[in-house]
Structure 1
């Protein structure tokens, strides 16, 4: 299976042995942007939720007003493409410092990423994560003291579909090497499989990577394109990180792509309801057949494309949901609830070829007026019947409340049931609950 995504290129596979980590008790507490469970927290103590845009600075350094322009349209953050010199022209220390200064001037939180890692293993010229770390160390003087304003995204989509399991060791090593070099910043790590993690390597190993960071300050970034073309896939993926109490950001996504049609409406709605960040790809300058991913035409902030109009001005978009970082004087953001509802799955009967189950939906600390439960069966099970919910799908399940059981008081619950055929086995799925 080959699922190529991102508006650029991608990376693949070598196993890198982790370098020794500094002892955690020798490290000072995070002074800048840092992780608290699923939340990303500023140096002020306020929750920060990314509502931003990717900008291909390394290919368009002459577009000096881009960051100010995307800020003017309401973004609170920018993911800025840089190059280490392995594949594209190197952004020197002075240029990195200038990018950070411009982010600060226009009051953006700045995510800096090395794009040369894109396609390693499938693109001959691509860099390894270890080479990306060497670049970051070489420009460290431009980043020292910028922890409240800068997140370090080690390398873009550092593994493709060849050798993606090596992501875990290589990412662990890269994080630990940055910490050994004295970086106190929040570190963002991209998923393998061209950023889309369809083999679930990042999802299933994120906890071990996080635990190996001496500062416990690693943010995970998923890129959502054609792999994420259904609501169930999106909500299940996000829900698993939240259930594991790990921070997730949607570091790239679009409204169309050559590998499929992403469900951008669900991406935006889920990000808002779950309080997680997103950064749309990309401001302008796309080529190679993905020009439809430009948010504005010709770097002109007054010329929004259909994708730009959707991301900036549509439902759950940037204009409706972005809050300026508190470190710049923006209004504090209250921590989002860990979950406004939960779903508990249980098999209640079995007759060999099939089984019966029940799902209990429970409101959290506040009352809810409706709920949606989603999952994908892990073993090929198929839904055959249901009651007390409006259910669509047979393998990827989306269940919505019936007219009579959507409103639940704080702590209240309701149960709906189903029958299904067994698959190769009958492992329980991981349901995700979204409330309205």
Structure 2
């Protein structure tokens, strides 16, 4: 069993670093979009913001006459989940996580980081009324772009192994979240369009297996698959993951698509969704005091702040306990806790699940949005304090990783561990 939070291989570390740079930029754009939405929703232009969000267009005959906010949630986030699906498949097929021993930690941490927040939320809301327990999955998601944006703002030199762990945990988290959405938040299921969706999906799979890269051929098939999944009653973002899993990894096609689409996902799709989803009027929905007293908000905040930290840290301890793996020498339990607190920054998928659980624009949905914002902010502040305290230690590790005595392009520390 490798040491927990060991560095892994140099090619994987370099690829993860490139990915994180894109996600960090996307996270800063996400922060900007969320702030703009909050400002507009609580300003004299709030009516304009609501009208813009509710502006409807699309072919009604195909049941695609959707509002702008719905297009962002159902359409743009399908691209986000497509990229997440590509990343997950690459990790487990060609990355360091093809080794089950290395995969055990981030998978266990993702499961623990979803189970404990869900249980905490349910404990708070089990006796609540008006469908409050339906929001149990809201605090289970980790937003990697938001978390990396926080790291960028506080300028901490988090070791590459821990950044890799955070990214992998978030990707596994996304897959589990889309599974939860498909199973628990599909209210009506129409089998005919769902079965028909298999036809363009199969055609897409056949083309990508033959290394076809033409968007003129692939995009119509992907759009048709998305439309039929949407018509089936299953949330349309599921189509993004299904399409991603069809793309072969070892031939480099998945890497090609990810390279092309990740900037579009991180730099456009997710910020636009955040702009339409995060605009909650603080003075609305019975007032700020009423929102703070809502068990939905309380459960979400506890889930994100306490549940995520306890779930991720606890799962990591269990992996160490039952596999007898040792922690990497430079990493301590305070570092794991800081990382777990970063995992409590939930945003994109949490907002989506809140809309599905309570109905977009409902009072409970507004309170859920406030809970997500407050919980993510508290988790970010606590993580900032802890990681800044440890930053001198991280800078020493980063200096060691950057040493390249023989100028071959590979830091010597990776060659020593190879």
TM interval, shorter chain, is under 0.3
Structure with more of its chain in helix, by fraction:
2
Tell me the TM-score normalised to structure 1 length: 0.25
TM-score under structure 2 length normalisation: 0.26
More strand by share: 1
